[in-house]
Amino acid sequence: MKVKETSLPGVLLFEPQVFGDSRGFFMETFRQADFDKALLEYGQNPVTFVQDNHSRSCQHVLRGMHYQEMYPQGKLIRVLRGQIFDVAIDIRDGSETYGRWFGQHLSEENKLQMWVPPGFAHGFYVLSDIAEVAYRCTEYYMPESERIVAWNCPKLAINWPLGGEPLLSEKDMLAQGLA
Ligand SMILES: Cc1cn([C@H]2C[C@H](O)[C@@H](COP(=O)(O)OP(=O)(O)O[C@H]3O[C@@H](C)C(=O)[C@@H](O)[C@H]3O)O2)c(=O)[nH]c1=O
C-alpha cells in the first residue's frame, strides 16, 4: 500500500498494490500494521475502526457534508463500483487549515482510498451511472450528534465537477453553510 500526503494536512491517500492475472485481480484493501505506520508517520493518533458502511447511489447524487460533533468519525473511503469526487473539509476548531477542503476522484479503476481524519466533514458527488462506496469508521453512527455543512457553502467554495444538478437527501438540502 502506497501512502501519499495531500494538500490538506491530515487527509491521506492510500494506493493498494494490485495483482492482476488471467482470473482478474487481487488486492489487500486494509492492513492494520501499514495503516498504523502511516498514521504515525504523518503525526496522527492511532485509530480503531468499529463500523463498516456501504452505500449505493445513482449519478449526480451528492451526499454530505457530514460530521459528528461528539464522537467524531475518522473515515477510510473507497469505491467498489463507478466513480465519485470525494471531499474532506477541515472543520476542527482552532485548526490552521480550518475551512479548507480537499477533493479527489476515487473510482473502481484507480482503487484509491481516502483517509478523512476525525474532525473533518465528508461528502461525495457521484460521476458514474452508479457508485458503490464502502468506508470504515472509527466511531459508531450517532444520529443525534450528526451535523451537516451545506455542500455549496460559499465560504468553502468547493470546486465540484458537477455534470448535472446534485440530487440531495432532504436533510442535506436543509443544511446551512459554515458559520
Ligand atoms: C450513516 C448511517 C446511516 N444510517 C441510516 C440512517 C438513515 O435511515 C439511512 C440513510 O442515512 P443518511 O441519509 O445519513 O446516509 P448518507 O447520506 O449516505 O450518510 C453518509 O454520508 C457520507 C457522506 C458520510 O460521510 C457518512 O458518514 C454518512 O454521513 O441510513 C445508519 O443506520 N447508520 C449509519 O452509519
- Catalytic residue list contains 66: yes
Say if CB 118 and CB 58 are below 8 A apart.
Answer: no
Q: Which pLDDT does position 133 carry in this prediction? A: 99
- Residue 102 cell numbers, joined: 480537499
Terminal Cα distance for the chain, rounded: 38
Under CATH, which number does the domain 48-173 receive? Answer: 2.60.120.10
Q: Could you say which of 42, 60, 66, 71 is catalytic?
A: 66
Has this prediction a pTM greater than 0.90?
yes
Ligand 1 pocket residue status of 117, Cβ below 6 Å:
no
Ligand 1 pocket residue status of 140, Cβ below 6 Å:
no
Query: How far is 102 from 89, CA to CA, in rounded Å?
Result: 7
Query: How far is 109 from 131, CA to CA, in rounded Å?
Result: 12
Nearest Cα residue to atom 26 of ligand 1: 66
Q: Which pLDDT does position 24 carry in this prediction? A: 98
Q: For the chain, list residues with pLDDT below 50.
A: none
Q: Which pLDDT does position 143 carry in this prediction? A: 98
Domain boundaries, the chain: 48-173
Query: How far is 59 from 46, CA to CA, in rounded Å?
Result: 35
Q: Which pLDDT does position 179 carry in this prediction? A: 82
- Which of these, 78, 101, 87, lies nearest to 166 by C-alpha position? 87
Ligand 1 pocket residue status of 141, Cβ below 6 Å:
yes
